[in-house]
């Protein structure tokens, strides 16, 4: 009996402490248009920006960017409150460019609270985006696939892209100097250009009629195509594999890459 009472008391204690933690985890305050939430002890400020003409995102910090369906130009940026004065998350160039970085006007703290575990979070709903430049650690989640006719993604650090599809009518261009991992099922565009000097992982299918891949880095490419022209120039390494059909294929390899095109247009 004593044991039962002891266990019951322990269970009630654990439940009440968890409830208290949960209550603490989502405290929301609003002051001067900035929403403050508390998440496991670390307070997050959320800034809301309206930029219906946004074309570019430039990030120098660990950031999670999520594209969602919503009111055009609505952007929410969340960051640890303790970092607020050290950050610069603003829209420049007449509302065309969102820059996420450090505030160069103030001395930076010795300890940074922004990391891949506690990143800056950007949630936006825009259809005019045409350029993403990452110089920090970025995780790009595309829940609502809506870009301009031309999309250019440049990475010189670590970038993860998660999307069921990426659509840009005329061109999708990936330029990588760091580590870029793209878990994208479908690349919907007319021209697909891949330039790699780091490590690039690309898979899925593409509707592109013209595909160009230039690499001096390490590639892990596995794409299913149905295109007019495919051109690969590699002096790098890794595995580049194309399947499907292509009217014109030009492959030049001067490095150590394994380029598999045997499933393209049948065997030799």
Q: How far is the CB of 238 from other proteins (least distance, A)?
A: 10
Interface ranges with other proteins (CB under 8 A): 228, 245-262, 264-266, 268
Q: How far is the CB of 254 from other proteins (least distance, A)?
A: 5
Q: Which of 27, 81, 79 is nearest to 49 (CA)?
A: 79
Rounded Cα–Cα distance for residues 232 and 240 (Å): 9
Q: In the bound complex, what is the minimum distance in angstroms from residue 244's beta carbon to other proteins?
A: 11
In angstroms, rounded to a whole number, what is the distance separating the alpha carbons of residues 194 and 232? 9
Do 170 and 95 contact (CB within 8 A), yes or no? no
Measured from the CB atom, is 40 or 250 closer to other proteins?
Answer: 250
Cα gap 155→180, rounded to integer Å: 7
Of 165, 158, 121, residue with least CA distance to 143: 165
Q: Minimal distance in Å, beta carbon 23 to other proteins?
A: 60
Residue number with CB closer to other proteins (94 or 267): 267
Nearest to 203 by CA among 190, 222, 216, 177: 222
Instruction: Report, in Å, the least distance between residue 186 CB and other proteins.
Output: 22
Q: Is 68 exposed, middle or buried (0-12, 13-18, 19+ CB in 10 A)?
A: middle
Going by C-alpha positions, the residue among 43, 75, 79, 42 that lies closest to residue 60 is 79
């Amino acid at each position: 009996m004593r044991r039962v009472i002891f266990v019951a008391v322990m269970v009630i204690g654990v439940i009440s402490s968890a409830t208290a933690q949960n209550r603490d985890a989502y405290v929301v305050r609003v002051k001067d248009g900035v929403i403050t939430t508390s998440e496991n002890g670390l307070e997050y400020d959320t800034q809301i920006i309206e930029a219906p003409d946004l074309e570019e995102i430039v990030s120098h910090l660990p950031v999670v960017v999520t594209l969602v369906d919503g009111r055009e130009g609505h952007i929410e940026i969340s960051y640890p409150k303790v970092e607020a004065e050290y950050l610069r998350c603003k829209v420049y160039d007449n509302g065309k460019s969102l820059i996420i970085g450090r505030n160069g006007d103030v001395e930076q703290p010795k300890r940074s609270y922004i990391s891949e575990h506690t990143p800056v979070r950007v949630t936006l709903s825009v259809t005019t985006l045409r350029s993403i430049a990452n110089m920090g650690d970025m995780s790009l989640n595309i829940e609502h696939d809506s870009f301009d006719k031309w999309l250019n993604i440049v990475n010189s650090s670590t970038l993860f892209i998660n999307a069921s599809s990426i659509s840009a009518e005329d061109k999708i261009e990936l330029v990588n100097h760091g580590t870029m991992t793209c878990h994208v099922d479908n690349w919907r565009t007319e021209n697909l250009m891949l330039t790699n000097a780091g490590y690039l992982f690309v898979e899925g299918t593409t509707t592109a009629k013209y595909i160009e891949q230039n690499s001096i880095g390490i590639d892990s490419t596995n794409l299913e195509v149905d295109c007019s022209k495919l051109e690969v120039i590699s002096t790098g390494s890794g595995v580049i594999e194309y399947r499907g059909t292509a009217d014109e294929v030009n492959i030049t390899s001067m490095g150590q890459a394994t380029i598999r095109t045997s499933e393209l247009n049948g065997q030799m």
